[in-house]
Structure 1
Amino acid sequence: MPYSLRANCQRRTVLAGLTTILLTTAISSVAQVQKQPVLGVRSAPLLTVGNAQFKDLNRNGRLDPYEDWRLPAAQRSRDLLSQMSVEQKVGFMLISTTRLKNDWSFEGPKNKEPISSDFNEEDLTASTNMFTRKPLPTPLMNAAGTTKAVTQFQLRHFILRANVSARITAEWANKLQALCESQPLGIPAIVASNPRNHITSSAAIGTSVGRTAFSAWPGELGLAAMRDLKLTREFADIARQEWAAVGLRKGYMYMADLATEPRWQRVDGTFGENAQWAAKMITEVVLGFQQTKLGPASVAMTTKHFPGGGAGKEGQDPHFDWGKTEVFPGGMFENNLIPFKAAIKAGTSAIMPYYSLPVGTQYEPIAYAYNRGVIHDLLRTKLGFQGIINSDTGPIEMMPWGAENLSIKERYKRTLEAGVNLYSGTADPANLLETVKSGMVDMKLVDDSVLRLLTEKFELGLFENPYVDEDAAERIVGNAEFRKRADVALRKSIVLLRNEAKTLPLRSGTKVYVESYQKQFGRPTPGPGDVLTPAGNYPVQFVKTPEEADVILLWIWPGSRSLFASDGSPLELSLSKNAVDVNYVNTLTAKKPTILAINYTNPWVIDEIYKEGSAATIKGVVATFGTTIDALLDIVTGKVKPTGKMPFTTPRSAEAVKAQMEDVPGYMEGAGYALFKYDEGLTY
């Protein structure tokens, strides 16, 4: 061998040896700092290396880098990626709804047997689009039997919609993780959910689970109305503990969208109309759920809906073809980005683009999931987001606005190139797999997506221990201390708007008639509501008829058209258009001095029952955003002083609603628009 070649070989040998020594030293050094994590195991063998133990997830009898908890998440992800087949990678890029046994919470047959923690092994398929009611180009599998999803489709991302006990959820999550552990490579699952900690009248599949076994807090608007960032962080931290206790480690939440279009049916999922305040709220929520860095105690957040979906034309929603257009007549596209910038700075793990196609901007009029200018150029490059881009449910088969003429494979290609990493809405990877295998897309896009998804799982500690303590779940979820803190928030969320002649707080001994008026949209709504005779310790006397009363407390929950009952007809905010019998209400309030409480999911127009400065008997107006009667009574009787502030502006009339601009917050609309102003709120 020539000397120069022999010398080069010797140098390479020496360098390789030094590299091995340095790597071994580095791992040893890290191991001295890191503590042995708890390893949750059901079937994988354990490996012992020195004084440390590891899970042999691929069962090859040796410690692979991805199994080594001492190594950085990025390094472990690259090693595991190198061991995954194309089929495993593609399945890993889907997130699908999954169900418990006998759970048909979103569609399908109803089984009278109780829901259990066992898997529902039936496939649920739909040949029509549940949003547009049009036939789909191909059958859409919204959900697959759990075992099939894991073992055949290679899915490891799931959405749980069921509203069941903490124990059943925890048991089911453990069974899912055990199934995943038994598979080649032993990759754990991650289970996501929509919000589960709020009192809301508009819970629906895909938006909010509603009230559950978890601690019950005000709706998102109510959290914003508290004007208490410290308590907001506490809410998120408490919810994090409850979610993690049952095995829910990913949140499809929260909405950084702005409530600039008052008719939008998702206003109640926002933190209001002010971008700066929404940014502060989303910061606290992300930090509360994720903590300052993703770790084994975190719940990863999916902030939505980039770049903001609150400016739909005339309030219509892009789940439907008649609402696919987002407009910016006020030129305030950039205003929508402010809360997302805050979420990125706080470290949100994922961001979800909406279905809308933008009009009146510099960007192509195509749905955001397809929009490379918005997703890659703006979100990735300009804003510097490095996390997961998670499509909303069904942009390929159901809501491909602006891409309707593309084939399914062409749609996958377009969205992959735009920057989507995780697809929601189908459990069957066949179409995406065909797209990838056909060579239509660069495999680097798939690998990049899988690396991001794997990194999240490693950082969450799921490879070490994806299991939960089922007994602890029952103790933690909805415990008395958590409920106590939620009760504080329920009271702080209430806003006092008018207090004529200082009628409030009600004086001791006042005879009060309490009526809760809650009707459903589309059904006959003759009065009355429900008469309440609360049992709490209050300084007033509750009576059963208005005639007996000194004061009437009327709490109206307008019954708006639900999001998924939309039909394209104009959206209205007047009470008579939202399941309120105005004649009945006016007859009732004319009988005695009245405290009018309105539960706001949208900025309702209440001029049919209340006109400021009139001679009506309404002496006080109170705004609620998802709370309890006990909390409301504590405010009106003075047990607790009101401190809340309005999270949005309410229009003075239906005409004002029609004249406003979709992307302009109410506080920036012209003079005469507002009845109740943003940030308005009285106290005693």
Structure 2
Amino acid sequence: MTSTSFKGVHKTLHFKIFTHSLTSIAIILLLYNHTSAQLNGKTKDQQPLLGYRTAKILTVNGLKFKDLNKNGRLDRYEDWRLSNEERSQDLLSKMSLEEKVGFMLISTTRLKNDWSFEAPKNKEPITSDFNEEDLVTTTNMFTHKSLPVPIMTAAGTTKAVTQFHLRHFILRANVSARILAEWGNKLQALCESDGLGIPAIVASNPRNHITKDASIGLSVGKTAFSTWPGELGLSAMRDLGLVREFANIARQEWAATGLRKGYMYMADLSTEPRWQRIEGTFGENAEWVAKMTTEIVIGFQGAKLNPTSVALTTKHFPGGGAGEGGQDPHFEWGKYETFPGGMFENNLIPFKAAIKAGTSSIMPYYSVPKDTKYEKIAYAYNKVVIRDLLRDKLGFEGIINSDTGPIEMMPWGAENLSITERYKRTLEAGVNLYSGTADPAKLLETVKSGLVNRKLIDESVHKLLIEKFALGLFENPYVDEEAAERIAGNAKFQERASLAMRKSIVLLRNETKVLPLKPRTKVYFETYLQRKGIPSPGNIYSANADNYNVQFVNKPEEADVILLWITPGTKSLFESDGSPLYLSLSKNAVDVGYVNSLTAKKPTILAINYTNPWVIDEIYNDAMKSNIKGVLATFGTSTDALLDVVTGKFNPTGKMPFTTPVSEKAVQTQKTDVPGYMEGPNYGLFQYDEGLSYE
């Protein structure tokens, strides 16, 4: 037995692990390396690893079980020999209505001193201790003139667990692997000590990507985990094997730190090029996005959800990439999704793949559909879309998890309904798990009032319990904190991520075979990124030329070749104000005059970082492009990766995940639901799937 004391939970708790003859670390590492087939192939009497702090251990016929409800006997839900179905039904019968309702909320939670949605209020370091504030209401994330209600709440962790009965949490803090693991273990210990001993599940947005728009609710950005190209970059690799390897590596990192649920990935199509969430998609081609989605789901979950899986929440059903004017339904001015091309069904192709691959959960978006046969109400309220289409027609049997705040924040089409009426409508539509509030009072009021059939509550809780049992959380929700540090972001994982960064780069033009650069070429390398008109510091690159067999110079006049890497500075999604969206560079923080004066000085290699399908005709047209000898596309990668490609250390193989429009006029007149490669022969400058190699 091993025992470690922790503070911060009302009383001292102890971590005891039943180990047989193996050490705890060896068992954990063994579990990480097991395949799904090995785990699912265990016999009903094969003793699993039990992780516990306060629960007593029962011995039955020589086998060990956790007495989670502390009644001194083995209940069916505590018996790991039984099926997940049997265990779920037994636990459901023991839960009070209050426990069931709390179980249907997934709330943002915070660490001590982690001001995720606010400016820091002190300078104390973030620790793994709980944030013990009572109930925090956040009102600065969105602006809705028509909705004078709180838009997001987060309870102090102890209150959330012991009074609100929450067992689903979203962690948005960007901290070390050790802190993640310590905090998660404390949370699980608290849950184990309370009531029926139901463990928690902790979810997060993506944590493994280089992204320009690292925002609450979108992506955490660069973290302690291995750093991979953005989602568009993964798609541009055109390497499904490496995509699955990415997902499997990320799974190991997440599971090692106690993150067992991913609010990811987006199966949406990038058909509306102005949409500010395109960076999180896999591109515009539905069939290819379906293949990407399949590899992602299997890589994170395995062939079947099991104790080494990270359960995924595929979003945003039935596809959010066709927003009117490119606007996003987080805001009232972006609530409509339009289908002038009649391609609603095209959006479903990646979701069908996710369902076939076994995704644990699907998240409907806030959008209100136009130009369809469906009712003009947000998808979370839309019974025909959720129950008839997603459940009955597509056969999805997993969890339907609302996006954050469809009740209080973005109730598009249901603004005139009361809060209890909104809950009633969404429950009947099929929502099982609600994101955006920590306080179950209104949902409980809805159920107690008799407005809805309580069978809907039991159906939802049953599905949520099945997921927890499948993930093995009832047997061992704890992680090894030292192992978490070793696993997350280790050199072997980062080596594979670095390969992905290079494979994600697309070579689009190579006039006179200027690339790869010849040895001893004098290169002026500038990375161009402006934020609100202020150039970023240190944008002239200088390094040891021996690494690349070229010479870096500090002035363009001294160079043989200029390498200019532009990252357009579009507004973040949550800086949106409803004004029209454009894709031309001058509308996205690029000083076109400066760029043109620079490229006129010497032969230029132009690299563009694409978070959207930028229009580059202001700097690359018949009058100006004669001096631009090469063009590359990046999608969130490293400087080293780009230099490896331009100097020939790595042969580019990437392909474009979307079509880039030839002009702003083409952007403004395209059909929101039609992929760029189907918009016609005069639409694209760089075509979908275009990409060159040196060989």
What residue in structure 2 maps to residue 10 of structure 1? none
Alignment of 1:651 onto 2:661:
yes
| Aligned mate of 2:681, from 652, 665, 671 | 671
CA distance in structure 1 between the partners assigned to 2:467 and 2:190 by the alignment: 20
Structure 1, residues 120-152: CA drift from partner, whole Å, max 9, x if none? 111453374732343744434521100010011
Give the TM-score taking structure 1 as reference length.
0.94
What residue in structure 2 maps to residue 194 of structure 1? 205
| Aligned mate of 1:247, from 251, 254, 258 | 258
CA distance in structure 1 between the partners assigned to 2:257 and 2:350 by the alignment: 29
Q: 1:486 and 1:32, CA in 2 relative to 1: closer, same or farther beyond 3 A?
A: closer
Amino acid at match of 2:621: K
| Aligned mate of 2:123, from 104, 109, 112 | 112
What residue in structure 2 maps to residue 682 of structure 1? 692
CA distance in structure 1 between the partners assigned to 2:163 and 2:130 by the alignment: 15
Kept in 2, the 8 Å contact 1:128–1:135? The answer is no
Give the TM-score taking structure 2 as reference length.
0.92
Amino acid at match of 1:378: L
Kept in 2, the 8 Å contact 1:127–1:136? The answer is no
| Aligned mate of 2:92, from 81, 93, 97 | 81
What residue in structure 2 maps to residue 590 of structure 1? 600
What residue in structure 1 maps to residue 172 of structure 2? 161
**Which ranges in structure 1 are unaligned for 5 or more consecutive residues?**
1-29
Structure 1, residues 177-199: CA drift from partner, whole Å, max 9, x if none? 00000001000000000000000
Alignment of 1:143 onto 2:154:
yes
Q: Quote the offset at 1:108 in angstroms.
A: 5.3
Amino acid at match of 2:407: I
Q: Quote the offset at 1:671 in angstroms.
A: 2.1
| Aligned mate of 2:105, from 94, 110, 114 | 94
CA distance in structure 2 between the partners assigned to 1:504 and 1:568 by the alignment: 42
Q: SS of the counterpart of 2:196?
A: helix
Q: Quote the offset at 1:529 in angstroms.
A: 6.9
Amino acid at match of 1:93: M
What residue in structure 1 maps to residue 269 of structure 2? 258
Structure 1, residues 295-315: CA drift from partner, whole Å, max 9, x if none? 110000000000000000010
Q: Quote the offset at 1:609 in angstroms.
A: 0.6
CA distance in structure 2 between the partners assigned to 1:374 and 1:431 by the alignment: 25
Kept in 1, the 8 Å contact 2:44–2:82? The answer is no
Q: Quote the offset at 1:111 in angstroms.
A: 2.3
What residue in structure 2 maps to residue 566 of structure 1? 576
Amino acid at match of 1:416: L
Q: Quote the offset at 1:450 in angstroms.
A: 0.0
Q: SS of the counterpart of 2:315?
A: strand
Q: SS of the counterpart of 1:452?
A: helix
| Aligned mate of 2:433, from 402, 418, 422 | 422
Amino acid at match of 1:533: S
Structure 1, residues 200-245: CA drift from partner, whole Å, max 9, x if none? 1111000000010100000000000000000000000000000000
CA distance in structure 1 between the partners assigned to 2:505 and 2:133 by the alignment: 45
Kept in 2, the 8 Å contact 1:38–1:464? The answer is yes
What residue in structure 2 maps to residue 27 of structure 1? none
Structure 1, residues 617-639: CA drift from partner, whole Å, max 9, x if none? 11100000000000000000000
What residue in structure 1 maps to residue 13 of structure 2? none
Q: SS of the counterpart of 1:106?
A: coil
What residue in structure 2 maps to residue 280 of structure 1? 291
What residue in structure 1 maps to residue 533 of structure 2? 524
What residue in structure 2 maps to residue 328 of structure 1? 339
Structure 1, residues 94-133: CA drift from partner, whole Å, max 9, x if none? 0000001100122354321110000011145337473234
What residue in structure 1 maps to residue 313 of structure 2? 302
| Aligned mate of 1:511, from 509, 522, 539 | 522
Q: Quote the offset at 1:518 in angstroms.
A: 1.1
Amino acid at match of 1:530: N
Kept in 1, the 8 Å contact 2:529–2:535? The answer is no
Kept in 2, the 8 Å contact 1:356–1:367? The answer is yes
Alignment of 1:534 onto 2:543:
yes
What residue in structure 2 maps to residue 628 of structure 1? 638
What residue in structure 1 maps to residue 375 of structure 2? 364
Kept in 1, the 8 Å contact 2:565–2:607? The answer is yes
Amino acid at match of 1:598: I
Structure 1, residues 43-86: CA drift from partner, whole Å, max 9, x if none? 00100001110000001111000000000001100000000000
Alignment of 1:544 onto 2:544:
no
Alignment of 1:173 onto 2:184:
yes
Kept in 2, the 8 Å contact 1:646–1:681? The answer is yes
What residue in structure 2 maps to residue 11 of structure 1? none
CA distance in structure 2 between the partners assigned to 1:527 and 1:63 by the alignment: 62
CA distance in structure 2 between the partners assigned to 1:55 and 1:190 by the alignment: 18
What residue in structure 2 maps to residue 39 of structure 1? 50
Structure 1, residues 233-269: CA drift from partner, whole Å, max 9, x if none? 0000000000000000000000000000000000010
CA distance in structure 2 between the partners assigned to 1:111 and 1:639 by the alignment: 47
CA distance in structure 2 between the partners assigned to 1:525 and 1:135 by the alignment: 34
Query: How large is the Cα RMSD of the aligned pairs?
Result: 1.4
**Which ranges in structure 2 are unaligned for 5 or more consecutive residues?**
1-40
What residue in structure 2 maps to residue 22 of structure 1? none
Q: 1:33 and 1:435, CA in 2 relative to 1: closer, same or farther beyond 3 A?
A: closer
What residue in structure 1 maps to residue 241 of structure 2? 230
What residue in structure 2 maps to residue 52 of structure 1? 63
Kept in 1, the 8 Å contact 2:139–2:152? The answer is no
CA distance in structure 1 between the partners assigned to 2:310 and 2:386 by the alignment: 24
Kept in 2, the 8 Å contact 1:553–1:594? The answer is yes
Alignment of 1:215 onto 2:226:
yes
Q: Quote the offset at 1:544 in angstroms.
A: 1.0
CA distance in structure 2 between the partners assigned to 1:127 and 1:205 by the alignment: 12
**Identity percentage over the alignment?**
76
Amino acid at match of 2:477: P
